[in-house]
Every structure is written in structure tokens, then in C-alpha cells.
Structure 1
Amino acid sequence: MIDRRAFLGGVLVVSAPVVLPGLTAGPAAAGPAEGPAELAPNVFARLDSGGRITATVPKPDSGQGVRTLVALLVAEELAVGPDDVRVEQAPGDTARYGSQSVGNSFSARSLHQPMRTAAATARCLLVAAAAARWGVPVGECSARDGAVHHGRRRLRYAELVRDAAALDPATVPVALTPQAEWRLLGRTRAGRVDARDVVTGKARYGIDTRPRGALVAVVLRPPWIGALVDTVDDTAARALPGVVAVTALDPATSGQGGVAVVARTTPEALKGRDALRVTWRGGTPTADSRVWLDALEAALPPVPAAPGPVAFEATYRLPLLAHAPMEPMNATAHVTATGIDVWAPTQDPGGLRTQLARQFGLDAAAVRVGTALTGGAFGRRIEPDPVLEAIACSRVAGAPVSVLWTREDDLRHDSYRPMSVHRLAAAVDAGGVPTWRSHGVSTWGLTVLPFFTPDVIKRSGDQFPYAVPGQVDVVAGPAPLRTGFWRSVYAGHFQYAEEVFLDALGRRAGLDPVELRRRLLPADSRLRRALDAAVARAGPVPAGLTRGVACHDDYGSVIAVVADAEGDRVRRVTAAVDVGPVLHPSGVRAQVEGGVVDAVSTVFGAQVTVRDGRVVQTSFRDYAWARIDRAPDVDVVLVPSDAPVGGLGELAFPPAAAAVAIASGREVTGMPVTAPVG
């Protein structure tokens, strides 16, 4: 998040809480001033002499709709329609734009204030310019529909750009539009700004990037976990038409290792890869995920001493999961005499630029990172390995190179969500209501961030919202393969086990699952209000269906999920969510729907398994993500709230997965519920 000092330095504006109604912006002017043909008081919003509004989006859009949100924020403060705002993606540059990382459900929380302030600055300058032109107090003027109004007089923004650009932003007080006066934010089901381009194929994703003269590279990757290149016979590959270069990749500096084939076209590169003769050494060719899971269970911390008899104990086993975005990993790079140009669907263009400059000993100005539209990320694209591969290939080929991963590459060489095993125990009162709990967790840390110690894992995952005292213990050993961020990170592990356990505990005592949760939540809590809203919207359990309920409190937001299923077919999911002020209702619904589909997929079969050192799954044929016929109806209730703006992208998955598993009617011992784990 950009801090106040950095924001003020970037936008060159002093903000005040109110516009002084009696302020007159200087003497009347006879006509437009001579000056710049563009009003650009900050790095986020600008107007050209034709009145066209451009909003610069500092964070990548990987499907979460941040570009649409920015357009709404800017349109609201400039008093125009969302279609009047053109969005432009910012390059990687933390000095200008602050943190550009997309993760931890933080985009809306970090952008809403800076983007609104940026647009409000432009609006207040335009109003001040109009007031000066008319010789009237600023407080008598108002902006709406792309113009400044004073009584029956009206000046379009285009007519005021030069005058406004000549003003010193530091002399014009800036006030944000009060929430009670919002016309767009929270009040419109605005579609995505790029929806037409996406459905017509006009949108350009990272995988579509082809600079002039670009070559294509694919990589022959290690056949088992941790294998290193031993010998390479590339004679046949180099003899093929179109093959330009073959190079071994050092996993210490150039991604995950392997042998890259650079060619003029993708088919030629793939043929070249098939023609390679490579031997491998090292690694763990006998690795088996079932053995890993058993070892994690054996390492579980013991159940601590309870204040009374333990009424119920259960163990849950959770598998490896791949990210499997619709757009496989890719990156394009061009190493030149003056630096490095990168085009990548990354979750952190600014951080990537900083990392590359440090790794290759360059000034930041010598590294240029263009941010492409991203076909899904879910935590995977925070990592730079495709970019490092593209840089290594470009250095060898002397030209821009686009590295493409096949679907099999993507699934078999991911940074996976770690496996975990959970042992939960509880003591209860005479009515079966829990009075004490323990939760022991055995898992791995994240190889992408070694500082994910047991304490950090606990703080990330333990978001237990109910009034039950207890103890949570985590043990975390080193991961035997690459592990990384996966939507909701460790909360997806902890909350799944805790909600499934709480449901089983209540059912053993004959307690209604909703009433049990209501008893354990404060009467005035946001989460209890969300639970009541979800249950009220869902209504009685339909005949022939089984219901599951789960709750979650994280990222400054709360959500309650009710799932109704007929065996393994989830028919309907109702989710009530409180994210504070709702900025983009359609975006909220889309994020909840995405979390529900992830839940249905992982509960009913999707998992990654390892046999003989190799990931078994190679495509969506055997990584069983939910098809459209398995997607339930999803009804999202927006719960009114005066809480600060909260996060959402990772919020829905943990409770949706638990509610869906409970609704299956099966005895839940882990995830998935339809197959052995691991």
C-alpha cells in the first residue's frame, strides 16, 4: 500500500477534509489560459484537451476486476459515467505507484483511497478553474456529467483543462465525495471494462505478447522432482528447421532448470524439444505423496491437556493443490545492451522490476516491466521463474523471446499448495456445546518464502471466529517440492478443518448447525449478522437436499456460506458477505462465485498426487476442476456495513469448501471427499 508521504510526493497535492464553501479561486478570467493541453495533477488520473479521462491502474488485473474498480473510483470522483474513463495499465515502478503487488486480498483496500483522491484532485482543479473563469466562489459550483455547473452556466471539462492545469494543486483544497452521495460506487452492477475485448478475443494477455522479432522457447523440464541436467545431446534438435538455440537453464538463476529450445515458432520449438536427448541426475525419483502425507500425520503435535474430558477428536488430511490458471505460465523478455525489457502476466510488476535489477546488477531504470492482462493467478504469478527463463533464453538468442509453458508443464511444475494434516479435539458442556478446543497442524512451509515459520503459518491460518478458548499448535517441516501461495493460503487449510469439525461435533449432540454457530458468536458481531442474512436468504432446506453451513472472518471482511446439495451435486450456494462499503457489487459477486467453484472442484476430486517422483496430473482431464454442469447456482447477499473497506478475493474459498463438504452428506475425513487423499 502506498503511504501518505509517497502518495503526496507522487500526486503533488495537499488534501483537506472539506472544500471551503466561500472560497473564490482568484479573479475572473476572460478566457482559457495558455498552458499545458493536459491536466495531470497526479500519476493516477489525467484529462487531455478533448476532455478524455484516463485512469492509470497501478496493480495487475488477474481476473479480480481491479481495472473495473479503478474506473468506477475515478468516474465517481470526476462525476462522469464509467464508460467515460479509459483505463491504462501501469508498468512496473514502485517509486511512482507504490506497492504493485496483488495478493492478500488487498487491491481494493489499498487502492480505493489513493484513486479517489487522485480523481477528486482533478475534479477540484476543474471546479476551481471554472469558478475563476466566472469570478464566483468555488462553493457555488458543482461538477456533474463531465462538466462544471454554476446555475444555468456550464463549462465542459475539455474547456477547462488548460486553466486547471495552470493551477497549483497545493493551493486547491480537495474533498472526496461523501458515501451518501455516491452515484456509482456500490450502486451499479457495472460490467467489466474489458468484457467485450475478452469475449471477442481482442484482449491481449501475457501469452499473446510478441514484440517485433520475437522468438519462442519451450523447456524440457526435469522428469522427476529435483532432477538436474546431466548430459545434453541437442544435435537432432539444432538440425530442425526454425530452431535458433538450445540452452541448459541453471535452476539457481534461471527458473526451475531444464533445457530450453528457442525457435521461430511454437510448433518448431516443440519439435525441437521432442528431439532433445537429455539424461538427468539427483532429485527424488521415488517420491510418493502418500508417504509424505503419512509422515505429516506422524509428526502431528500431541493433543494438549484439556480442562475436562475430551468429547470428540478427529483427523483431517488435505492434499497438494495446483493453481491451474486458464492461461498457463509464460513471459517475454529482451536482453539488450542497455538493460532488460520484460512483458509478463505478473502479480507484482514493481517487485519483479526491483528483483531483476538486484539479481542482474542493474539500475532500476535499466529494467522495464510491462504488465500484461492475466488469465488467472491465484498466487502463482507472484513468482518470477517464467521471467527468469525468458531472460536466459533472450541472452542466448540475442533477440526477444517468449517462453511458453504447456498445460502439462503448468500442472507438473507448479508451486503447489502444501499438504497438511489436522487433529482437532474438543471438550463440551452438558448440552454438547464446545467449551474448549485444540487444533494440531502438521504441514510444510512455503519454499517461495522461507520465513513462513510455524508461527507465521499459525497467524496466517488460524482465523477461528467463535468464542471457544483453546490451543493451536503447528509443526512445519521443509517441503519436499516447490510450494507457494494458493488462494487463501493457510486459512484454506485451517478453516476447512475447523468448520467441518465444529459441524461434526454439533451433529453428534443433535445441535442445529446454525444455532450452534449463533451461540458461539457475539450477538452484535458482523459475522453473526452475515450468518443470519445467509440463512434467511437460503430459506428452509429443500426436500431431498442436505445443507452445510460455514463462516469465515479474514482480510477485514466476513462471510457466511450455506450450501445445499444432493449427494455430490451442489445445487445451490447462498453466501452473505460484509466487506464494509461495497465499491463494486458485480465484482463482489464474481469473487464469491469464483471461490465457490474452487470449493466444489477441490471437495469433489481435484488434487495433485505424486508417484515415482512425478506429479501424476497433466491436464484438466485428470485434475478434475468443476465443469459448467457441476457449477451450482450462487446467490450472494451484500450485508450493509460501516466497517472499513475489506478484502475479498481469498475470503470465500475456506467457508465454501467446508459448507460444500458438509452438504455432501459424507463422513468428511479430509479433502477431497470422493477419493483417497494423496
Structure 2
Amino acid sequence: MTVQMTGASRREILKTAGAGGLVLSFSIASKASAQGSAPQPINAYVRVAPDGFVTIVNKNPEIGQGIKTTLPMLIAEELDAAWDKVRIEQADNDPKVYGRQFAGGSMATPLHWDELRRVGAVARAILIQAAAGGWKVPAGECVTEPGVVVHKASGRRATYASLAAKCAGIAAPDPKSLTLKDPKDYRIIGRPTPQYDTAKIVTGQPLFGIDVKRPGMLYATYEKAPVFAAGVARADLAAAQSVKGVRKAFVVEGSSEALQPAAGQIGPGLLPGVAVVADTWWAARKGRDKLDVQWAEHPTSGQSSEGFAAQARALAAAKPQRTPRNDGDVDAALKTAAKTVEAAYAYPFLAHVALEPMNCTAEFKDGKLEIWAPTQNPEPGRQLCAKTLGIKPEDITIHMVRCGGGFGRRLANDYMVEAAWIAREAGAPVKLIWTREDDIRHDIYRPAGFHFLKGGLDAAGNLIAWQDHFVSFGEGQGFAPSAGMGPTEFPARFVPNCRIDVSVMPLGVPTGPLRAPGSNALAFVMQSFIDELAHAAGADPLAFQLKLLGDKPVVGEPPAAYAAGRMAGVLRAVGEMSGWANRGRLPKGEGMGVACYYSHMGYFAEVAHVAVSPGGEVAVKKVWVAGDVGRQIINPLGAINQVQGSVLDGLSEALHQEITIKDGRTQQSNFHDYPLMRINEAPPVEVKFLETDYPPTGLGEPALPPAIPALTNAIFAATGKRVRSLPIRPEMLKA
């Protein structure tokens, strides 16, 4: 069976039109284009068929975040379609039609909220014009009901299906000229809606990249050096080729330089390795086990997690390499402070461990490449394959297949270019599947980091001084991918004397974005240390946060503005939800902690309730979440799921997850030494959204960061022990 989640082909368009259907395809200039920068068109593709069904194409990759449902909901609402008559198809990668197609940064809603609603409004206007023309009445006298155009004065009605054949030749109006619905009239937006593919997922139907099959397809595995980017010094392939079912084994020279992302890319390109191609994946795996490969020496072999920690301590004791922020006089303020607090925080490398390992199916024929990829970022994948294989980008077709999780890992396309290269060498369609060990040992990791903090309080308990010497990875003035921190990181701008120092050390370990990049680590540090300062001041931690935010509703200017009033709102809300004022009544060994964070345009505050046993075992009893992502929640069911998943993801990172490097290689390999949260550990998560008069924004990431410090602050409340490094281990908390 061939699985291709695609938009309509030209042949399908002709069939639909010939059968009396409406095919609508047009583009709307984005805000960036309107402002005179390079065009970034947002496109939609809509079909109205004679059977009354409306097909809406989802332009962005679906990675489990529900965008295949959410974006079509925007179109369907303004189209006034009957949702039970909507079919959804996944678009292929086609930047000329759809503009940029990617899943990352929680950007789907802010980028498409207005534009895709206007797509639906244009389709609706064309259908109204078709009906009005047939009835010889002004279009302004017609309205719509779900799937029907109505002429109120005469009572005449025409279904969209009956109008489909009459739409040909009707010019689309200017999308900006159309009046969009009043939110009080929404029927689809704001209604809890299951994901479109749920029934297929739970019944095991082929949807994911790992399910793709092609006629004559072979299977491949790809062995890479345990030390990142090391080359092949010698390879004896005979034993692998002797395994029954193995068709071919060969060395791929690749490039050690491909470890560093090229311009426009995330993650590595084609690294050196050895490919094994076989009739079945099991045969390919067995052949790979027989490989005898000697890897070349590589300078990264001298790097380790212990070495990084030692370097960080040495750098922190020395003069910082640069100071991106220096407000007031921090040194003087610390000298005169009534109380000072110092603490060192650290967090480890993390892997993404999407449940579907990296995979890709590729077919190279007659100089053209066709790819079926579970990718978050298809167009850079096309460009990477074109450059590496020496072919034209227009000779590459990428079918976007549903991803079994992404979390930022599939923003990189190293597995795509590997599959493409192997398919060309094999002379047949090839499905490359990484093992779980490949997935963990060859990730683009969330970077580790180190913070050396000092804070000063005056006699009234006000925070008057903040210093953070941030030791991270990079070279010169640059950070390694996803290893940076900006000069406006909270509480910067809210403390009169604030200095952020930075020092970096070289890194040969590949890094990249993991869900809520940067924020997933920085929130732990900043919000934990603020909690330390609150306790040093003898203050209620929630009240201390509100006092720190002050009275100004917004601090700073766009795009770096911080809406302090919105953050105060979610803090107050989560305090009420959780019964924060009554936390003193908890039994011994239990505690509640609060944290808040602004990330990816969302303002979130969270309270965690934990119980810690005398042996140091942590049980999270409940988490409360208050979030502000603007005036509209498009799909409440999906929104709550996203928040709950984010919280559990953050708790899992804090309680279990750690990648350690030794001799330049990852020590962990599978779930036995890189465990995730189990279902019996997962607490209930109560979610509340505050509606504020701001445009709606995304939800895939901003609820994760505060979950971690809410947990660690709750542990302190329960035990009096501070968690300043992750993951949390029982021996840290034993009574």
C-alpha cells in the first residue's frame, strides 16, 4: 500500500472540475510581504464537491500538535462549512503555493489566524456570488448557513454542492475587503474538536512516516561513529553482505563539517557512515550488527559532561567574556543589600526521544528525487538534499507525512538526506529507519548550561540587585545552536541593578531546539532563584512575584515587550485555582510551589503540589495551570491537551531525563537508561485560560517551562532542600 498524505494532483483537480466541483486556490500576502520584505505568501486550497463535502488542505506538518485540525477549522468557520462535511488532506511541500511550511515555535496560530480565516471568507463570497447570479439578486441580500446559501427575502436556498459547478469564472474578491465573523457567531472556532486522524491512529491505520511503502522498496540502516562526526577509517563489509537478505553495504564519505548547520538549516547534514540495504529492515539491522568499522580519530573525543562542568566553574571564577546587559551598579547594590543570596544552577543535555524514531522513504529515478518524510521543516530538507546530491531543488518532491512526535527534533533533516543518498546508491526506493539507539545517540540535543547567580534584597524585601554569569557553549560572540540567552531574560528590566555576563566554551556535540527552546532550561534557573530570594525576604513566593512585576502593564518595546499585567493575571488566577493561600495546612512532607514564565508569546503560571517520601521519592499530586494566549482558543480540546502534555513533558525532563557525554560520545542508548515519565507518575493537570484582548497565539510550547520550577519550588516547600541541578534524584532529597 502506498501512503501519500498529499494535496490534490492536477489530474484530481481536472476530475473534480469535470464532475461539477469547485476548485479554489489562491494566495494572500503575509504581513511581512505587506511591510515590503521578501514575500511570504500564505495560501489555502479548498475544494467543494458535488456530494456536498468540502475538502480543505492543511498546509503545515502535523506532529501531534493537532494543526491538521486547527488550521482547517479557521477556513471552515469563515467558509460557513458544515464541519461534519469537511474532509482534510495534508499538503505536499510546495513553497510556491503554500509559502513556508513548518511546525515549530508555536507559530501556526499567530501566523495564520487572520490569513486562513480570510481564505474561508473568500470561498464563501464566491459561493454567494454564484447563487446570487443564478437568482438574479444582489449578493448583499444573501447569507449563508452551514453548507447553504440563503436568499432571505424569497426564502430560496442552494447547497454549496449545487453551486459548485457555477463557481467557475467568478473572480475572487480582495480578501482584505471582506468582513470576518463576529466571534459570538462562531460555530466551529471555540468548539472542542477531536483531531481529524484520531480514529485512524487508534485503529492502527497507516499514517506515519514509518508506515510508508513503495513498490520494490528496500530497507536501510545507517551506522555512524559514536564520536560525533568522526569519519570512517576502515570498513570490512564482507560479513554484513553475507547476511541473508542484505543487498548492499557501502561507505558514505559524508563530511565531518556537516555537523555544523549550514545557512538556513537546523542540525547536521550528511555525516560519514556505513549504509546497509536489505529486503527487510531486520535483515538490514542484522547486517549492520556484522559490520567491522574502525572510526577515525576526532577532537570531540576529549569532551565530556564532567569536563564541561569543570570548565564552567573555572570560567565562572574568571572575568566574563562579554556582558550583554549591565543596568545600574550591581556590585555596589550587592555590597549595600540587607541580604544577599548566591547559588549555582546547572541543567544537562536532553534528547528528544519522539516515540517514532527518525525515518524517511526516498526514491531516486531519472535524476529526480521523491521523498516521504515525517519532517517539521520540509523546505530546508529539500535544499539540503539538492545541495548534497548535486541536483536542482525543483527536481525534488517532498510528501509531508504525519510525524510520530517532533518536539523540535524533526526541524533537522539529517535522516532525510541520509535516505536520499542511500536511495540513489541503492538504485531502488529505500526506507531508512533509525534504531532507538541511533535516535538517542545521534540527536541534536538540548544544550546543557550553567548559571552562577547573585541576588540582593533591601531591608523591605525588595529585589534590588541581580547578577547571572551564564556559562554556555559557543565560540567568540556566538552561541551553539539553542544554547543562548537574551539580554531581556526576566527579571531583567524589573530589577534596577541587573547584570548578565556570558562566557562560552567550545562544543563538538550537536545541539538544537527542544520544545520551548532555551526557555525549558532558563525558566528552571530564573524561577527557582526568584523563589530562593522570596524565601530569603520572608515573603510569600506568589506575592513576591507580583511585587516584582510592578504596576506597569507592559515593560519594553515590541518585539521584546513584556506584558507584566498579563503575567500578574495568570499568577492571581493560578493562586485562586490551587488554593495557594491554604498551602500551610498541608501535611508534613508535602508542599506547593509556584512559577511563571513568558515563552513563545504565551504567559503561563503554574502551581505544583508534591509529596516527598523520607527516601527522597517525589510524587506529584496535582498541577494547576493558568495561561493567557489571547482572546480566542481555537480548539479547546486540543488546547487543553497541549497544555497537559507540556506540563507532563516538563515534569518528565526534571524527574528523569539526562544525556551525559564521555569520551565525546553519548552514554545513554534506550529507555532503560533514558527513562520517561510513566503513566502511574502522571498527575492530574487542571487548566484555565484567561481571555485577554490580544491576538491569539500558539500553545505547543509556553506551558512547559514553568512546570519545572513549580516542581522544584514545591520540593523545597516540602523538604527545605533546594534543587539546583537536574534531573532530580532521590539521594538529593533524603531526610
TM-score normalized by the length of structure 1: 0.90
368 and 507 in structure 1: CA distance in 2 versus 1, 3 angstrom threshold: same
| Superposition deviation, residue 431 in structure 1 | 2.3
Equivalent pair of 1:75/1:84 in contact (CA under 8 Å): no
DSSP 3-state at the match of 1:169: coil
2:174 aligned with 1:204: no
Matched residues, number: 642
Structure 1: stretches of 5+ with no match in the other structure: 1-32
What's 2:567 paired with? Answer: 527
| Superposition deviation, residue 225 in structure 1 | 3.7
DSSP 3-state at the match of 1:307: helix
DSSP 3-state at the match of 2:61: coil
How far apart in 2 are the matches of 1:641 and 1:562?
Answer: 21
Of the structure 1 ranges 631-640 and 295-304, higher mean CA displacement relative to structure 2 is found in 295-304
What's 1:422 paired with? Answer: 451
2:499 aligned with 1:471: yes
What's 2:593 paired with? Answer: 548
**Matched letter for residue 526 of structure 1:** R
How far apart in 1 are the matches of 2:382 and 2:179?
Answer: 34
TM-score normalized by the length of structure 2: 0.83
1:457 pairs with one of 480, 484, 499: 484
What's 1:506 paired with? Answer: 534
| Superposition deviation, residue 345 in structure 1 | 0.7
How far apart in 1 are the matches of 2:695 and 2:388?
Answer: 38
Moved over 4 A (4+): 33-36, 301-304, 450-456
How far apart in 2 are the matches of 1:267 and 1:171?
Answer: 56
Deviations 1:638-657, CA, capped at 9 Å, x for gaps: 11111112222121121111
| Superposition deviation, residue 184 in structure 1 | 2.1
**RMSD of aligned Cα (Å):** 2.5
Where do 1:191-590 residues align within 5 Å? 191-252=194-255, 255-283=270-298, 284-285=300-301, 287-300=303-316, 305-309=331-335, 311-445=340-474, 452=479, 457-459=484-486, 462-464=489-491, 467-469=494-496, 470-523=498-551, 524=553, 525-539=565-579, 540-541=582-583, 543-544=586-587, 545-567=590-612, 568-580=618-630, 581-590=632-641
34 and 595 in structure 1: CA distance in 2 versus 1, 3 angstrom threshold: closer
2:686 aligned with 1:618: no
Equivalent pair of 1:38/1:47 in contact (CA under 8 Å): yes
| Superposition deviation, residue 114 in structure 1 | 2.2
Where do 1:660-675 residues align within 5 Å? 660-665=711-716, 666-674=721-729
| Superposition deviation, residue 116 in structure 1 | 1.2
How far apart in 2 are the matches of 1:96 and 1:518?
Answer: 47
What's 2:164 paired with? Answer: 161
Structure 2: stretches of 5+ with no match in the other structure: 1-16, 27-43, 259-268, 321-329, 554-564, 613-617
How far apart in 1 are the matches of 2:18 and 2:347?
Answer: 67
How far apart in 2 are the matches of 1:41 and 1:237?
Answer: 51
How far apart in 2 are the matches of 1:109 and 1:659?
Answer: 27
1:184 pairs with one of 163, 181, 188: 188
526 and 211 in structure 1: CA distance in 2 versus 1, 3 angstrom threshold: same
Deviations 1:246-283, CA, capped at 9 Å, x for gaps: 11123326633221100010111011111111112212
DSSP 3-state at the match of 1:435: strand
| Superposition deviation, residue 212 in structure 1 | 1.2
Of the structure 1 ranges 292-301 and 636-645, higher mean CA displacement relative to structure 2 is found in 292-301
Equivalent pair of 2:122/2:173 in contact (CA under 8 Å): no
Equivalent pair of 1:101/1:351 in contact (CA under 8 Å): no
| Superposition deviation, residue 346 in structure 1 | 0.7
**Matched letter for residue 347 of structure 2:** L
Equivalent pair of 2:509/2:664 in contact (CA under 8 Å): no
**Matched letter for residue 652 of structure 2:** S
How far apart in 2 are the matches of 1:421 and 1:546?
Answer: 27
Of the structure 1 ranges 128-137 and 363-372, higher mean CA displacement relative to structure 2 is found in 128-137
| Superposition deviation, residue 555 in structure 1 | 2.1
351 and 280 in structure 1: CA distance in 2 versus 1, 3 angstrom threshold: closer
| Superposition deviation, residue 438 in structure 1 | 1.5
How far apart in 2 are the matches of 1:82 and 1:460?
Answer: 46
| Superposition deviation, residue 370 in structure 1 | 0.6
DSSP 3-state at the match of 2:625: strand
How far apart in 1 are the matches of 2:251 and 2:312?
Answer: 35
Of the structure 1 ranges 262-271 and 618-627, higher mean CA displacement relative to structure 2 is found in 618-627
| Superposition deviation, residue 171 in structure 1 | 7.2
Equivalent pair of 1:461/1:495 in contact (CA under 8 Å): no
How far apart in 1 are the matches of 2:510 and 2:713?
Answer: 31
How far apart in 1 are the matches of 2:85 and 2:206?
Answer: 19
262 and 198 in structure 1: CA distance in 2 versus 1, 3 angstrom threshold: same
| Superposition deviation, residue 81 in structure 1 | 3.6
Equivalent pair of 2:363/2:428 in contact (CA under 8 Å): yes
| Superposition deviation, residue 294 in structure 1 | 1.9
How far apart in 2 are the matches of 1:574 and 1:360?
Answer: 50
Equivalent pair of 2:475/2:505 in contact (CA under 8 Å): no
Equivalent pair of 1:333/1:390 in contact (CA under 8 Å): yes
| Superposition deviation, residue 44 in structure 1 | 2.5
| Superposition deviation, residue 402 in structure 1 | 0.8
How far apart in 2 are the matches of 1:451 and 1:82?
Answer: 49
How far apart in 2 are the matches of 1:178 and 1:294?
Answer: 59
